[in-house]
Amino acid sequence: MLPMLRFSWTGQSVQWVFKENQMEYKVYQRNAFWEQATIVGHWAWVFYQLFLLPTWPLRVAYFIISQMGGGLLIAHVVTFNHNSVDKYPANSRILNNFAALQILTTRNMTPSPFIDWLWGGLNYQIEHHLFPTMPRCNLNACMKYVKEWCKENNLPYLVDDYFDGYAMNLQQLKNMAEHIQAKAA
């Protein structure tokens, strides 16, 4: 199902952009035109490139493979970053502490030049959640400050290599299944 997430997220992005005119926050209303224009421009460019391919079956196959391949990659990193950490109930006090919430509910993948390139900076998920508008190329430099802040405030800084993170991901899925099974019994 991971490759299918690209279609879901794309649909949600398009819906969001075209609802911005009616949102209560002025910043969304102010940016709506340009966001709408750029998303239309993006998809016009995508479909123009598809049009350049020689046959309809090739166009359709290329579109599906490229979108699902992109979906697999982005969902792969998102599941590593989010599914391997503890979950908190909707009434948890942690929801009142933005920094702690972001730090405790995400995990970074151990950085390296290859991982940074492959994940496009999203392996720095803690920093991405704390500073969502920060350019990805700056997330690595920001990491040392966040680690230091976590240490000063007795918060864990969750960073693991690929295999350890996915092992924790599978363990978390097992824990949730056992929790649901126990509640059902």
pLDDT at position 83 is 84
58-85, pLDDT tens digit by residue? 999 999 999 999 898 888 888 888 888 8
Four-residue CA torsion sign, 11, 119, 44, 61: negative
Instruction: Count how many domains the chain has.
Output: 2
Q: Which domain holds residue 39?
A: 2-80
Q: Which residues of the chain have pLDDT under 50?
A: none
Q: Are residues 68 and 101 in the same domain?
A: no
Domain final residue, candidates 32, 56, 80: 80
Q: Are residues 57 and 138 in the same domain?
A: no
Q: Are residues 177 and 118 in the same domain?
A: yes
pLDDT at position 176 is 85
